[in-house]
Structure 1
Amino acid sequence: MSVFCSSQRFQVLTTGVLCAFLNSSCASPAPKTAVVPPNIGPDSVVQVAAGPGYARSRTYKFFWGRHYRKEWATPVPVRVFNLSTVVPGGLTPVQAGGSFQTKNLRLVDRNGVEYVLRSVDKDATKALPVRLQDGVIGRLMKDQTSVIHPYGAFIVPVLANAAGVYHTNPILGYLGDDPVLGKFRQDYANALYLLEERPDGDQSTVRSFGQSAKVQSSRKVFTNLVASARYHVDARQYLRSRLFDMWLGDWSRREDQWRWASFPTPDSSTRYQAIPRDRDHAFFKFDDGLLTHIIGWVKTNYQSFHKNIRLADVEGLNRAARPMDKSLLVYLSAEDFQQVADSMRQSLTNDVIRRSLQVWPPEVYALSGEEFTEKLRSRRDQLPAVAAKFYELLARDVEIPGTEEPERFVIEPAGVGQVRISVYRAVQKQAPTLIGQRVFNAHDTRSIKLFGLGGNDVFEINGLPDARIAIGLYDGAGQDTIRQQTPPATTSNRITLYNSNDGNTVEVGKAIQVKDYQPAANEFDGTGWLLRHRLY
């Protein structure tokens, strides 16, 4: 969704102020998209500007930002896509799609491998009511596409490969009035696109997707994660991807921005590794205008790609992915975060950065090359500090979910100010297996919540941890057992059992507080847990 979609009231106010200064500027037509080059043919190269209409006056830019307007307005040499020959055997369009901003077209080759055309130019006005789309607010929303670097996605593969992060491999091209488009011809002809592999299904031949034979959506993966502990995410690999996001300044990393490479393990489980997709908001440049700077104070997740990553901005930078981060990184320690960050900092060398920027046309490099070189180097060197802040934010209030199967949660002291949480898979007729374990320190953590979700779970309290950490036990669905081993009578603690009274067995001493409660929709079971991830 557009950077302005959730700020419409604010826009109306600022638009009125701006119009008083600019008179006719607000009445100007919406920015033009790429100009149709004359006399194009298959396998030719044409000069195309991604968005010539984003060029604006000095006064307009003072209020609404310089952004990447020069990059959008500069013509560059672009290959013309011929769908019959762009890959061996050609591509056949099969399905139109896209979000409020990006126009997508799914294609398939002769072997059934899927690709996607994604429009370089964006148009977020479709998120508005029809009556507003052609008005002042609609034009401002369209104009703010210039906060995105039109060619930013093309430098990512070299960087991601060095960082050990999976990635797509976009190719820039111009699609003319190709007859192969068929019924999609009117809506998709004569525009600038990136063409890339679609991370789905059998990708065993694609190295940048881990050569996984089964790539799945976030909806499918998270459904499996809450169904059974036999499914798990490679947390360190996901952390590497998330730190890479922060390095690029990519703040729009909600669940649908990911696909997952799956791999069978020797114990008949499934391990998932993250495949980031859609780099539309990487290298975001928003706060270089008076009014956009003010909006950035209100919408703190609109983080711009600066030379320095301010530690105070790390929370806003990661707000969209916070539900995922809290679930998938819950068992990693501060040392894990530092090890991954140090590894990435060493891998992302100056030479890697230089080679990544060389994929740009010379015209684009002349405008952005020096700026990006400086910023990428500086932000790389900050990765350890950013990782430490990221850990600090996630460690403050922790949530540990079970699954729809039975689990055994073990809570025990681990020293002064420390508590150890261990979670085991406890399916009948199978030996208990450790799902995850972590020692929490009161210096970092103020609360821990354990969610049983489904199954007949066991919450086992072995001694009472330090009272500086509040611990909540949420039984969820199923008939659970909550027991305290040799409970001391008076030891101070802050453990609370939230008992839904659906047939649980409670064997705890007076030191444990028990509260009757009605579970919230996103606390009760696996289906409810998916609500937290906007996937149900």
Structure 2
Amino acid sequence: MRHGLKILGRVLGGAALGPLALVAGLLLSAASHRGAGAAGAPAARWAPDSATVQVAAGPEYAAGPLWRALWGAHHRALWATPVSAPVLWLGAAGPGGLRPLRAGGSYQTHSLRLRAADGRAFVLRSVDKDARVALPAGWVRRLLGPLMRDQTSAGHPYGAYVAARLAQAAGVLHTNPRLVYLPDDPALGPFRAAYGRALYLLEERPAGDQRRAPTLGASARVVGSAELLAAVGQGPAAPATAQAFLRARLLDMWLGDWSRRPDQWRWATLPTAGAGPEFRPIPRDRDQAFFQMDDGLYPWLIGKCRARYQSFGPRLTAANVAALAVTARPLDTLLLRGLPAAAFQQEAVRLRQRLTDAAIDSALQAVPPETRAVVAAGLGPALRARRAQLPAVAGWFYEAVNERK
């Protein structure tokens, strides 16, 4: 399939028809598309004790052979598979329950901030996404919106859970996401109309005092990238900051997570005896880990125009690594340019030793039981193959970081 797409792409490009074919295909596909993202919340099957439900994260992404050939098979099978998830009633979530505070999220993710009675902060993030609002309002959104929504299926619905366990094995700080079903809960209060009746990711909100959270660095002060940039602007951070960030960035490459802009990071501040504060990175929002974009005609062509949309597979190249580095380039430049090439290689070797077969197998069990066989078959061999490439990836990453533009 991919070989055929490459041949077709060369033919279209040689005839200077590539952009025209892409635009025509978008318009024709949009005009013929029916129902993507319009089915509403999927029906949930409740267990007799009402403690769990069975529901698919995105049944609307199921598609026939022709649509998959044009727009990619992606992770559609996983999105359409009903999975079991515990029901989260906010008032019953531990002593005092969880109180909704504020709606949030990017243009794709539906999120809701929560606070427990003991002061801990949590966030609910929708498993399903909707990028239609990124399009201009009006006829463009009406025409192309269903296609934008359909391409949510390129993301892995349960990749965040795998990524968290692999971060633990790698020695990278992380949140601890849990899959839950949020019902039509009166405790949602003013948020009830917009939230609920769907699968959500529930995790700690990495901010403020996290001394009770080892996986967030047990830090008394977790900050955003703006605070990091301000501190580093006043003087260099401790050397351990760059080393910890390098490890986290090599993990990003291994996971194929291309969306690592500064807002996708939080930083645990730690006291040091020497000069300069130490910051340990906490990557968050693993929405694009294990992204799958290049298995349909039009997504493949779009990927040629937008190189950062890297698909997860068993083989990496220098060009793949350079594209994966695009969104985090400001942080990479700030924190990693002072490190020698040998440091990149040493971290790659350590990371490869940490990411054992047992660690990979354990991480792949973090997804819902109904999807484990498919996820293991789809991700396991590629993770092992990419692990073997980590020293080469580190060399390419060093070149990307130190490229002058």
- After TM superposition, the score normalised by the length of structure 1 is 0.69
**Secondary structure of the corresponding residue to residue 121 of structure 1:** coil
Among candidates 207, 215, 225, match of residue 218 of structure 1 = 225
Higher helix share: 2
**Secondary structure of the corresponding residue to residue 115 of structure 1:** strand
Q: Quick one: structure 1 residues 12 and 140, their matched pair in 2 at CA, closer, same or farther if it must change by over 3 Å? A: farther
**Secondary structure of the corresponding residue to residue 84 of structure 2:** strand
Task: Check the 8 A contact 1:126/1:133 in 2, yes or no.
Answer: no
Q: Which amino acid aligns with 1:199?
A: P
2:82 pairs with 1:78: no
What is the CA–CA distance in structure 1 between the aligned matches of 2:174 and 2:107, rounded to whole Å? Answer: 23
Q: Quick one: structure 1 residues 272 and 19, their matched pair in 2 at CA, closer, same or farther if it must change by over 3 Å? A: closer
State the match for 1:239 in structure 2.
246
Once the 2 structures are TM-superposed, how far is the Cα of residue 220 of structure 1 from its aligned partner? Answer: 1.5
Once the 2 structures are TM-superposed, how far is the Cα of residue 86 of structure 1 from its aligned partner? Answer: 2.4
Once the 2 structures are TM-superposed, how far is the Cα of residue 326 of structure 1 from its aligned partner? Answer: 1.0
Q: Quick one: structure 1 residues 19 and 200, their matched pair in 2 at CA, closer, same or farther if it must change by over 3 Å? A: closer
5 Å-filtered alignment, 1:349-498, equals 349-397=356-404
* Larger radius of gyration between Structure 1 and Structure 2: 1
What is the CA–CA distance in structure 2 between the aligned matches of 1:244 and 1:33, rounded to whole Å? Answer: 36
2:14 pairs with 1:14: no
State the match for 1:130 in structure 2.
137
Once the 2 structures are TM-superposed, how far is the Cα of residue 89 of structure 1 from its aligned partner? Answer: 2.6
Once the 2 structures are TM-superposed, how far is the Cα of residue 42 of structure 1 from its aligned partner? Answer: 8.2
**Secondary structure of the corresponding residue to residue 93 of structure 2:** coil
**Secondary structure of the corresponding residue to residue 33 of structure 2:** helix
- 1 or 2 for the larger relative contact order (CA 8 Å, sep ≥6)? 2
What is the CA–CA distance in structure 1 between the aligned matches of 2:321 and 2:55, rounded to whole Å? Answer: 37
What is the CA–CA distance in structure 2 between the aligned matches of 1:93 and 1:132, rounded to whole Å? Answer: 35
- Give 5+ residue unaligned stretches, structure 2: 1-17
1:207-238 CA distances to partner (integer Å, 9 max, x unpaired)?
11110110001112211211334677710100
Root-mean-square deviation over aligned CA pairs: 2.2
Q: Which amino acid aligns with 1:16?
A: A
Once the 2 structures are TM-superposed, how far is the Cα of residue 267 of structure 1 from its aligned partner? Answer: 4.0
Q: Quick one: structure 1 residues 263 and 24, their matched pair in 2 at CA, closer, same or farther if it must change by over 3 Å? A: closer
5 Å-filtered alignment, 1:272-311, equals 272-311=279-318
Greater CA deviation, 81-90 or 217-226? 81-90
State the match for 1:157 in structure 2.
164
State the match for 1:433 in structure 2.
none
Among candidates 313, 326, 331, match of residue 324 of structure 1 = 331
Q: Which amino acid aligns with 1:307?
A: P
State the match for 2:321 in structure 1.
314
What is the CA–CA distance in structure 2 between the aligned matches of 1:43 and 1:268, rounded to whole Å? Answer: 55
Task: Check the 8 A contact 2:27/2:144 in 1, yes or no.
Answer: no
5 Å-filtered alignment, 1:260-279, equals 260-267=267-274, 269-279=276-286
What is the CA–CA distance in structure 1 between the aligned matches of 2:77 and 2:123, rounded to whole Å? Answer: 27
**Secondary structure of the corresponding residue to residue 305 of structure 1:** coil
5 Å-filtered alignment, 1:53-72, equals 53-72=60-79
State the match for 1:36 in structure 2.
43
What is the CA–CA distance in structure 2 between the aligned matches of 1:279 and 1:157, rounded to whole Å? Answer: 9
Greater CA deviation, 151-160 or 40-49? 40-49
What is the CA–CA distance in structure 2 between the aligned matches of 1:31 and 1:129, rounded to whole Å? Answer: 19
Once the 2 structures are TM-superposed, how far is the Cα of residue 332 of structure 1 from its aligned partner? Answer: 0.8
Aligned residues: 388
Once the 2 structures are TM-superposed, how far is the Cα of residue 129 of structure 1 from its aligned partner? Answer: 1.9
**Secondary structure of the corresponding residue to residue 360 of structure 1:** coil
Runs of 4+ in 1 over 4 A off after TM superposition: 10-13, 38-43, 230-233
2:194 pairs with 1:194: no
Q: Quick one: structure 1 residues 333 and 268, their matched pair in 2 at CA, closer, same or farther if it must change by over 3 Å? A: closer
**Secondary structure of the corresponding residue to residue 192 of structure 2:** helix
**Secondary structure of the corresponding residue to residue 369 of structure 1:** helix
Q: Quick one: structure 1 residues 305 and 34, their matched pair in 2 at CA, closer, same or farther if it must change by over 3 Å? A: farther
Q: Quick one: structure 1 residues 261 and 55, their matched pair in 2 at CA, closer, same or farther if it must change by over 3 Å? A: same
Q: Which amino acid aligns with 1:81?
A: L
1:446-488 CA distances to partner (integer Å, 9 max, x unpaired)?
xxxxxxxxxxxxxxxxxxxxxxxxxxxxxxxxxxxxxxxxxxx
**Secondary structure of the corresponding residue to residue 273 of structure 1:** strand
1:153-191 CA distances to partner (integer Å, 9 max, x unpaired)?
111222111101111100001100111100000001211
1:35-81 CA distances to partner (integer Å, 9 max, x unpaired)?
13256798611110000000011111111100000100010111111
Task: Check the 8 A contact 1:78/1:174 in 2, yes or no.
Answer: yes
Once the 2 structures are TM-superposed, how far is the Cα of residue 33 of structure 1 from its aligned partner? Answer: 5.2
What is the CA–CA distance in structure 2 between the aligned matches of 1:11 and 1:54, rounded to whole Å? Answer: 26
- After TM superposition, the score normalised by the length of structure 2 is 0.90
2:263 pairs with 1:256: yes
Task: Check the 8 A contact 1:250/1:279 in 2, yes or no.
Answer: yes
Q: Which amino acid aligns with 2:60?
A: G
What is the CA–CA distance in structure 1 between the aligned matches of 2:232 and 2:183, rounded to whole Å? Answer: 44
- Give 5+ residue unaligned stretches, structure 1: 1-9, 399-536
Among candidates 172, 194, 199, match of residue 179 of structure 2 = 172
1:332-375 CA distances to partner (integer Å, 9 max, x unpaired)?
11111011000000110001101111122232112221121101
What is the CA–CA distance in structure 2 between the aligned matches of 1:395 and 1:154, rounded to whole Å? Answer: 32
Q: Quick one: structure 1 residues 27 and 358, their matched pair in 2 at CA, closer, same or farther if it must change by over 3 Å? A: closer
**Secondary structure of the corresponding residue to residue 94 of structure 1:** strand
